[in-house]
Amino acid sequence: MLTYNKPFIFQRADPYVVKADDGYYYFTASVPAYDGIILRRSRTLEGLTGAQEIYVWHRHASGPQSIHIWAPELHKLFGGWYIYYAAGDKDDIWNIRPYVLRCRGENPYEDTWEELGPMKACEEDEFSFTQFSLDATVFENNGKQYMVWAEKVGSGRQISNLYIAKMAAPDRLATRQVLLSTPDYEWERHGFWVNEGPSVLKHEGRIYLTYSASDTGPAYCVGMLSADEKSNLLDPGSWKKNREPVLASCPEYSIFGPGHDCFTEDERGNTILVYHARTRPEIEGDPLYNPNRHTMLMKVRWDEKGEPVFSLDEKEGSGKKPDV
């Protein structure tokens, strides 16, 4: 039986779960050592807890992709399996960029993975992936593939914004970047000015894009944007941004710093939010290197307007299958 809003998989941050057409659930996440990309699979969502974990790729010994292997996501698009992840360079540890792996076969757990290299901007785009950039996610809408990612801009105070573009190929954008969201509110500016970790859920003609804000301690929280699926998603005016976080720390439930989520569904078709959080507010050392961020699950509810509700009270309401 699934347990909600409690550790589901310990010490796995930035979780990503895919319910695939082959009947398996696949799980990947950042590991505390930040040294590679892991994968689990199970016939059931609950089974991911004790499923065997394997490394499908290890960091390089030096140079690019040799440190800070962060936030992998497993996606099936353009007819194949791909993993998007961020990585740095031991000689320049904050030189973080998004990279792409491609599975050489149809079985992401058993087949070999190969590097496609860094994610590439289109020829007309002089700015994408030129500075600290990470947390790339992809989604399909009306037959087009889109990428959303976080990238820092500015000198002095670095601000992490969210950008969106259409994709031409698994490792290349088709259009220039469009600024989607910037840290506008105080709850997005604790410690650092951050919007990162985007994830997409489609439901009843709407696209909901959640993201994480502030530093990775107890102030870390989840914000949300939304748009009509028929609108021009590359027009910032198509998107509405919530003024308040949709999920934040709650001492009553021992949830601190929830964020970097994704969406899947259980065997009954209920919408499930997969996220990481800490179980205590005290953090030893730098929050980024503290391993106690755990993968958790939440059943998503829907209000009378069809909007998602992220409640830590697992007894409230029920999920409803999203349009994915």
Q: Cα separations (Å) of 41 from 48, 53, 74, 110, 129?
A: 6, 8, 12, 10, 31
Is-catalytic flag, 196? yes
Assigned token pair, 56 = 């499908």
23: left (phi over 0), alpha (psi -120 to 50) or beta: left
Q: Considering 135, 151, 171, 196, which one is annotated as catalytic?
A: 196
Q: What is the pLDDT of residue 157?
A: 82
Span 112-151, pLDDT tens digits: 999 999 999 999 999 999 999 999 999 999 999 999 999 9
- 85-94, 153-162, 205-214: least confident range: 153-162
DSSP state of 9: B
User: Mean pLDDT over residues 82-88, rounded?
Assistant: 98
Cα distance between residue 179 and residue 191, in whole Å = 22
Taking the C-alpha atoms of 159, 62, 10 and 191 in order, what is their torsion angle to the nearest 10 degrees?
A: -20
Answer yes or no: is pLDDT of 156 > 80.
no
| pLDDT the model gives residue 315 | 61
Rounded to an integer, the average pLDDT of 274-289 is: 95
- Asked if residue 5 has pLDDT above 80, the reply is yes
The band of 318, judged by pLDDT with boundaries at 50, 70 and 90, is very low
Counting residues of the chain whose pLDDT is more than 90, the rounded percentage is 94
Q: For residue 321, give every residue at least 6 positions away whose Cβ sits within 8 Å of its Cβ, in sequence order, or none.
A: 265, 269, 270, 271
Q: For residue 319, is pLDDT > 50?
A: no
- Tell me, yes or no, if 22 is annotated catalytic: no
- What DSSP line would sit under 267-306, residue for residue? TT--EEEEEEEESSS---S-GGG----EEEEEEPEE-TTS
Mean pLDDT over residues 256-281, rounded? 98
Measuring CA to CA, how many Å separate 85 from each of 16, 53, 210? 11, 18, 18
pTM of the complete model beyond 0.85: yes
Average pLDDT of 274-299? 96
**pLDDT per residue over 36-77, tens digit each?**
999 999 999 999 999 999 999 999 999 999 999 999 999 999
Q: 194: which 2 tokens? A: 């951050």
322 vs 9: which has the higher pLDDT: 9
pLDDT band at 300 (very low <50, low <70, confident <90, very high): very high
Residue 224 has pLDDT above 90, yes or no: yes
Q: What's the pLDDT at 322?
A: 39
Mean pLDDT in residue range 243-251: 98
Q: Which domains, and CATH codes, for the chain?
A: 13-309 (2.115.10.20)
